Amino acid sequence: MNKFSIKDVNLWYNDFHALKNINMSIPANEITAFIGPSGCGKSTLIKSLNRMNDLVEGCKITGSILLDGQSIHGNIDVNALRKRVGMVFQKPNPFPMSVYDNIAYGPRTHGIRSRSKLNDIVEKSLYDAAIWDELKDRLKKSALSLSGGQQQRLCIARALSVQPDVLLMDEPTSALDPISTAKIEELVLKLKNSYTIVIVTHNMQQAVRISDNTGFFLLGEIVEYGETQQVFSIPKDKRTEDYITGRFG
């Protein structure tokens, strides 16, 4: 089952051709990793999947991206799309409010007002993000008082609070220490049973450890895309091999 089908996608930031003829399918309930050197387009592609690029001025996209067979462009509600396709960012970005309000913000946005329902959602989201035990006594505390790793798991919980199908993660561990990184990786592996996960990472070991499929990007093109095992052990393209063996990047 494919969650996303990406066909002939080209993307420009003004005159800069950031994505060139991208074709790929992202399977449901698996972890797909995007790797590649900085500026290769991997973050741009992930941000196209929930149309966060719409916010960038001068951004133009052609081709088609289908989510469960339905185009995400054209006449659809962008907010509904972003509710279905949640996102976790590179730097933990909790809102400057309490832990509880951070999680409740999403459901409240989508019209849930009942206190008991919100309580359930907050508890379940934090539980699913494996941070309930650490935070259950600190729900009223400001989210900004948490450590970086806790903040990032809080952001994952916040993304889960609106019950998305897909979780996009844009280098979610690049600002974290190794122990927090390990916790997040463990969490991501657990979440793949319920969600389709797309993760951008600079860390090739991380891609090997957690992903089922890996796409290698270079200068806006997708050089190689396949099962992680295959991409890292017997890459088909010379450039992939050079990158994963550390010859450039």
Name which position in 75, 79, 116, 193 contacts another protein (CB under 8 A).
79
Tokens of 87: 């996102």
The CA-atom distances, in angstroms, between 222 and each of 8, 176, 190 are 11, 27, 28
Q: How far is 82 from 141, CA to CA, in rounded Å?
A: 27
Q: How far is 194 from 122, CA to CA, in rounded Å?
A: 18
145 near another protein, rule: CB under 8 A? no
158 near another protein, rule: CB under 8 A? yes
13 near another protein, rule: CB under 8 A? no
Nearer to another protein, 96 or 246 (CB): 96
The CA-atom distances, in angstroms, between 149 and each of 28, 153, 173, 174 are 27, 6, 8, 11
Q: Which amino acid is at 1?
A: M
57 near another protein, rule: CB under 8 A? yes
Contact 166, 198 (CB under 8 A): yes
Q: How many helices (H) and strands (E) does the chain have?
A: 10, 10
81 near another protein, rule: CB under 8 A? yes
Residue 157 CB, shortest distance to another protein, in Å, is 12
Dihedral over Cα of 243, 244, 247, 249: its sign? positive
82 near another protein, rule: CB under 8 A? yes
125 near another protein, rule: CB under 8 A? no
91 near another protein, rule: CB under 8 A? yes
Name which position in 60, 62, 76, 80 contacts another protein (CB under 8 A).
80
Backbone angles phi, psi at 162, to 5 degrees: -100, 15
Name which position in 14, 97, 234, 238 contacts another protein (CB under 8 A).
97
Name which position in 105, 112, 182, 249 contacts another protein (CB under 8 A).
105
Nearer to another protein, 199 or 231 (CB): 199
50 near another protein, rule: CB under 8 A? yes
Q: How far is 144 from 164, CA to CA, in rounded Å?
A: 24
111 near another protein, rule: CB under 8 A? no
Residues that bind another protein (CB under 8 A): 50, 52, 55, 57, 79-83, 86-87, 89, 91, 93-97, 105-106, 109-110, 155, 158-159, 161-162
